[in-house]
A and B are shown apart, each in its own frame.
Chain A
């Protein structure tokens, strides 16, 4: 790992100020960034530690919205989100307990790993990503693998989820990494059904719109029997072929419908 200066700002405004410098980067739970630094895939001059900032901690729930501050760990989300059980369950299954004690929702979404769980939840549950500069609907947030619309120095401060009528997340574990080999997050708001898929596409998290339409008019597993996911553009690696991933999307979507 190249050396850097580690700063621990006292409050959010100091953190935002520190991040405006060239070569500065946010450090939240470090569960992705520290391994990245060890591999010398990033070489920031300054790391601004935001994990301990009280202003970025906590969950609040009111009027059908769950608001999670960006520095809240997966473990805290798992244990404290009550009105959105599918989201709490997703957090409870990220990695392992030690990862969940450090990793944060803001870090997960900013990182946009193609196999991460939270991006699928944000996309399926009409989330709004609030940053130090603006509010971004989740539909506009994810650009491609490891890429989002965030500008240099822009910090996610909070994520607001609209609680659906019913929802379920099906994660097919990749047992070595403990990420999702494929994951499907299904959320239903009346006839508006959303199916967000992670772990599968070379372009990162996406919504399976054909399934959404079919499930919007008939919310049953058989409603998607006739649909097939095109294997073109799916990820292919030693853990699974394109065809396997395409097939898993359908299988997991059906399981999610049945679990609702």
Chain B
């Protein structure tokens, strides 16, 4: 076991992990931040996307120890400080961007990363950016609409 320390959603946290502990397991099991979902665990679905130092990564495909000293943002960090929904989250709610909601944490994190890089994406750019996020309910049209709305609202 080794100790890992990182900043998650603005708070410094540390915990004991094995070499093989994935970041997704660390945030879910050690930090009880279960908003980050594990859909496939094979790097395909994107339900587990979080931001590490501002970049979208699949938390099931990075070890917790590799994130030592980094800044992580999970879906829980997307809400406003008063607990109300953040812009991207609100846009998903307003535009029916979710059905079962399983893929939503990853979709929101990818959408936020896209809007950071490109505040006014075209529909094609949104669809291309979401290539690694799979929605089992296949609600893609409304997901794209939500992201377009978030771009306008932001």
Contacts and interface: CB of A to CB of B under 8 A. Distances in A.
Interface of A: 1-6, 8, 27, 30-31, 34-35, 37-38, 47, 49, 51-52, 75, 95-99, 101-102, 176-178
Given A95-B132, A98-B57, A3 B20 contact: yes
A1 to B, nearest CB: 5
Interface of B: 2, 18-20, 22, 41-44, 46, 49, 55-58, 60-63, 65-66, 68, 110, 113-114, 129, 131-133
Given A47-B19, A98-B49, A99-B43, A6 B132 contact: no
Contacts of B43: 31, 34-35, 99
B66 A35 contact: no
Contacts of B66: 6, 8, 27, 30, 49, 51-52
Point out which of A1, A3, A37, A96 has the most chain B C-beta atoms below 10 A from its C-beta: A96
Majority DSSP secondary structure for residues of B touching A: mixed
A96 to B, nearest CB: 3
A177 B131 CA distance: 11
Given A6-B2, A6-B66, A98-B56, 11 more contacts: A2-B20, A34-B43, A75-B55, A95-B131, A96-B133, A97-B114, A97-B131, A98-B46, A99-B132, A178-B131, A178-B132
B62 A34 contact: yes
24 contacts: A4-B20, A6-B2, A6-B19, A6-B63, A8-B68, A27-B63, A30-B62, A30-B66, A31-B61, A34-B43, A34-B62, A49-B63, A52-B66, A95-B132, A97-B129, A97-B131, A98-B57, A98-B110, A99-B43, A99-B132, A101-B56, A102-B58, A176-B44, A178-B132
